[in-house]
A and B are shown apart, each in its own frame.
Chain A
Amino acid sequence: MQVYLPIAEMSVDALLLLGIGFGVGWLSGLFGVGGGFLLTPLLILIGIPSPVAVASGANQTIGASVSGLIAQWRRGNVDVRMGLVLLAGGFTGSALGVQLFAALRKMGQVDLAVAIFYVVVLGTVGGLMVMESVRAIVQRRRTGGTPKRHEHFWMHGLPWKMRFRKSRLYISVIPPALVGFAIGILSAVMGVGGGFMLVPAMIYLLGMPTSVVVGTSLFQVVFVATNVTLLQAVQTGSVDVVLTMLLLVGGVAGAQFGAAFGSKLRGEEMRALLGLLVLGVALSLLWGLVRRPDKLFTIGPLL
């Protein structure tokens, strides 16, 4: 069933889009992540132009993250104060990221930049995940101690300290704002929510307790991803409403299944598989960067 995507200016099988949305939604329900980091490269791999894939990708994470945020909010697992500091950085970062994206688009380098970003980020994330899972599977029989986080850091000397009661922290607002800023840029340029990077950053860099990390990261992701989608739609005009609707429908259904599945699965094997999938996507993007193009020269209208 072919549908025409008005912004991407191409026809795609609607069932394929629903399927991708469902699969990514399933994973996001399973692991409590937005899934944009898989969705956007998958869209690029099926031939959606990168600007449209990125601009539409962040939108997908909103659907999954809003329902997660509501659940975490009810349980009181959101540090609103920390969330607002992250968000201040996140809004700045995402606004700047969209400018960067628009500038790259004007120069005609969006495809290259997005692909490089993804190869680097997905390569790192996938590699770490596989390593982590292999270690966990090997260690299952032995009793392995969990790594302790650092207690003292250079960052504790920074000014503008603030008390974050829920996180039981008294730290400068600069590190959380910087973390939010970096995630905001990634969110705009890569079309992701950024939770998969934000959660470890909150734990290992900011030293937040794990109980509030998930809820607070969702708080940041929901608003930053909304901001990115809005800015991309207004500024670059590359959010495809047909594409996003189809993906969202698949995604919401998939997330329900994934969440129900989550408690019945062994984490390590699933995580190893997901890590391999992430690595596979990174490699195919890398291959697209280095292989000799089918047509060495193409003629087309400049944007």
Chain B
Amino acid sequence: MSDSGNPATGESAATATPAKRDRVFLVVVDDSPERAVALRYASLRVRNGGGRVALLRVMEPAEPMFWAGVGAMMAEERREEAEKVLSGLAAEVQEITGGMPILLIREGDPREALEALLAEDPRISILVLAAAADGGGPGPLISSLVGRNAGRLPLPVTIVPGGLSDAELERVT
């Protein structure tokens, strides 16, 4: 709980293949079906044009528990869960790009955590978000980031339609 403010937590820098260009595509790993599309798009861009992929997983904030021991165990299990998700996706990214992605774990509200990360981490150059393919709007992150505040973002945002097939993704990257 207390170490969430530390910018160094949860990162494992890759040592493999030096990138041709040091641009970094940030993909937010949530539980939506379209995250796979964003991830694939970013990986293909890196494979074709160089750079690296960064994966951000935002954990639910720990709610206070009646028993401190239970709360500590809960925080630990959430962290393990997040690490498991990220390392699974990291293997996918590595298969496509040949390099290990940067893994980032934050805690709190997804939008706030993302904005804080963008403000403090100068390595990230492009944010890749996938829009939900079904009719219910593009998803909460896109609507809040690319609305009125779009002009004040610190970096360009790429929005990938969630319905693109693998072949179409190959074509546009």
Contacts and interface: CB of A to CB of B under 8 A. Distances in A.
A263 interface: yes
A74 interface: no
Interface string A141-159: 0000011010000000000
B interface, over-half SS:
helix
B77 A147 contact: no
Interface in A76-127: none
Interface residues of B, number: 19
Interface in A197-217: 199-200, 203, 209-211, 213-214
A211 B74 contact: yes
B63 A199 contact: no
B66 A31 contact: yes
Interface string A126-148: 00110011011000100000110
A32 B68 contact: no
Interface in A244-288: 262-263, 265, 267-268, 270-271
Nearest to A132: B68
Given A146-B76, A203-B73, A211-B78, A263 B63 contact: yes
Contacts of B65: 31-32, 199, 214, 267
B72 interface: yes
Contacts, number: 66
B1 to A, nearest CB: 8
Interface in B23-78: 61, 63-74, 76-78
Contacts of A213: 70
B23 to A, nearest CB: 35
Given A209-B77, A211-B77, A211-B78, A199 B64 contact: no
Contacts of A177: none
B61 A133 contact: no
Interface residues of A, number: 31
A30 B68 CA distance: 13
Nearest to A265: B64
B67 A132 contact: yes
Contacts of A52: none
Contact of B2 (A129, A140, A214): A140
Nearest to B61: A263
Contacts of B63: 32, 262-263
Most chain-A CB neighbours within 10 Å: which of B63, B67, B81? B67
Contacts of A188: none
A228 to B, nearest CB: 20
A268 B76 CA distance: 17
9 contacts: A128-B67, A129-B68, A146-B76, A147-B73, A210-B73, A263-B61, A263-B63, A267-B64, A271-B66
Interface of B: 1-2, 61, 63-74, 76-78, 81
Given A263-B63, A267-B64, 7 more contacts: A32-B65, A132-B67, A136-B72, A146-B69, A196-B67, A200-B67, A210-B74
Interface of A: 30-33, 128-129, 132-133, 135-136, 140, 146-147, 149, 195-196, 199-200, 203, 209-211, 213-214, 262-263, 265, 267-268, 270-271
